[in-house]
Amino acid sequence: MATPDYKLAHARVRSRYGPAKNWFCAFCALSADHWAIDHDSPDLQRDEKGRAYSLDPDHYVSLCQRCHHAYDSHVAQYGTSGLLELFDRLYNAVPEDLRDAGRRSVVSSIGSLLRHGYLRPRRDRAYKQR
Ligand SMILES: [Zn+2]
């Protein structure tokens, strides 16, 4: 038996915010690779494999592979305490010129901005149900 809720949760995030690759990493600001669960989510659930998920798309952040791995490892080892230090470490480990290059690649064209959602901020939020 598959794990429909886990898959549904990720499908919801992609449906609302598109692929994570369209966003910057929330920690280091390079290009993101994955949608990662916020381990502090109030409604955190676990599937039978122990994977954490939430059915609320707003409880996911876009992270690059490096930061996602560091985040999940930190939470597995220490829980969600000490995360600010982790964020600082991950952010500061990236040279500023690398971050600038990533930003420039996005803002180099109107089409690129559109694809990344920057010219239509909150375009999906209208459907949010609370
Ligand atoms: Zn990152």
Q: Tell me, in angstroms, the distance from the centre of ligand 1 to residue 45's CA.
A: 24
Q: Tell me, in angstroms, the distance from the centre of ligand 1 to residue 1's CA.
A: 33
Q: pLDDT value at position 22? A: 84
Q: Tell me, in angstroms, the distance from the centre of ligand 1 to residue 4's CA.
A: 28
Per residue in 88-113, pLDDT tens? 999 999 999 888 888 777 766 667 76
C-alpha 113/C-alpha 106 separation (Å) is 6
Of residues 114 and 84, more confidence is placed in: 84
Q: pLDDT value at position 103? A: 77
C-alpha 11/C-alpha 130 separation (Å) is 19
Contacts of 34 (CB under 8 A, 6+ apart): 20, 62, 63, 64, 65, 68
Name the residues around ion ligand 1, CB cutoff 5 A.
25, 27-28, 64, 67
Q: pLDDT value at position 89? A: 96
Count CB atoms within 10 A of the CB of residue 100. 11
Q: Tell me, in angstroms, the distance from the centre of ligand 1 to residue 11's CA.
A: 22
Per residue in 16-56, pLDDT tens? 988 898 889 999 999 899 999 999 999 899 999 999 999 99
